[in-house]
Structure 1
């Protein structure tokens, strides 16, 4: 997850509450129809993410690119598939495809909803630390300890995957057969990184080795957790390093998010 900042206002709120608020946004905006209110909500979400989560403008812009691509596909599909609506009027014809005003409005509304969800996800990743989130899920959301600890271990494995991938690739490059055993190979220039093989076969071998390494490491973690009797103690008997607790200010965050999204959803129906 992204870099946590202690100066952000949302960083002081409980991570499980922030996760719930993030997940409730697409649910409340599920039946949007008009794009205007949702576009205004997207602009407000951008400003809130910058002010309350301290997400840099550059990261907000770059993080929106995948959602823009998906939103564009929503506009394109809805624009040409809403012709059966009795209120739809054809605004353009592209060969056998008819673009309707209802389809364009619906597609833009869905695309704006996608962008709103993307902004919420970026703000969430900016202020929430994975360790605090999993601890809060166990203490506040009452998720069983087996799941939260397993997720913590899985997150650690995922964090180490880039370094392990680089190690596997370099190891395979060192063991690669030399095309001409009698040829003298010059040492690479120190300022230049050695080029690793990029053929499909080399990448497939490296991916398989990384998968096998990850499975073995996960198995060792599972055995270690079972050896330490994970889950044997009750919830009230287990001590925690970082106590998590939701208060009234966390409830205010959820109420504000739900109220704003509900108002926008009502106006956009």
Structure 2
């Protein structure tokens, strides 16, 4: 299962294909890799399809907007081919449509790779893996982890503040000036609460002997196993096979240059 893969190796396995896909400007390559990611996601993890679609569906609108803007305002490098139609005085060419669709598919690939990582990775294990495998300083990782843990409590405090204001007869204001005043009423108490929490966490960590040194022992020791390298090879190797297939079929396009 993907959830048991070492988080650092998983992050590298997601990051490298995401960067490599940024070089392609054809439709065939990102489309095949998007299908490949979906197969890996739903065959090697226990992510519910409904949950995945809930996070993924808003990005369809974003991808469609990227494609539309690219089609309308593609530069000369990507405006090759015959003119398909004209809209608002802009000539829509075959190359601009291909480039726009390629950008949309690449965006969906980035989103699906991100969801594959985010929905199968425990945040605590990820921070521990960054310390143990990537040698990131503990001061940075523990600080990020502490801030991440504070987010749910800030949401609860925000709701408490809203209810307290309603009880005291302070209603939601209209207009820009009213919104700024409302933001001030909420931000100052939340900022003060955040400072108090940060001080308590710092004191607690100091009292338990946390000095931020790199050489430290860990209760949960994470290791890199054979399955982690196999997963890395799967995602990168899958992209390499798709690149080769796209090249031999004549679809591969790198930065507007057809191969």
TM over 0.5: yes
Instruction: Indicate the residue corresponding to 1:81 in structure 2.
Output: 73
Matched, 1:21 2:1: no
Matched, 1:69 2:69: no
Structure 1 pair 243–205 and aligned structure 2 pair: CA distance change class (3 A) = same
Structure 1 pair 175–45 and aligned structure 2 pair: CA distance change class (3 A) = same
* 1:62-100 deviation line (CA, Å, top 9, x unaligned): 222232122112211221223623733211100221111
Distance 1:232 1:217 in 2: 19
**CA drift at 1:127:** 1.5
Distance 2:35 2:5 in 1: 23
Instruction: Indicate the residue corresponding to 1:256 in structure 2.
Output: 234
Distance 2:241 2:13 in 1: 15
Distance 2:214 2:87 in 1: 65
Structure 1 pair 72–163 and aligned structure 2 pair: CA distance change class (3 A) = same
Contact 1:35 1:112 in 2 (8 A): yes
Structure 1 vs Structure 2 CA RMSD? 2.2
Structure 1 pair 155–83 and aligned structure 2 pair: CA distance change class (3 A) = closer
Instruction: Indicate the residue corresponding to 1:187 in structure 2.
Output: none
Length, aligned pairs only:
240
**CA drift at 1:135:** 0.8
Map 1:23-38 to 2 at 5 A: 23-38=15-30
What SS does the corresponding residue of 1:231 show, helix, strand or coil?
coil
Matched, 1:159 2:152: yes
Structure 1: tracts of 5 or more residues without a match: 1-8, 178-196
Q: TM-score, normalised by structure 1?
A: 0.80
Q: TM-score, normalised by structure 2?
A: 0.83
Distance 1:82 1:153 in 2: 44
Map 1:117-196 to 2 at 5 A: 117-176=110-169
Which of 88, 91, 109 lines up with 1:95 in the alignment? Answer: 88
Instruction: Indicate the residue corresponding to 2:249 in structure 1.
Output: none
Instruction: Indicate the residue corresponding to 1:215 in structure 2.
Output: 195
Q: Which structure has more helix as a fraction of its residues?
A: 2
Contact 2:63 2:105 in 1 (8 A): yes
**CA drift at 1:35:** 0.8
What SS does the corresponding residue of 2:92 show, helix, strand or coil?
strand
**CA drift at 1:219:** 3.9
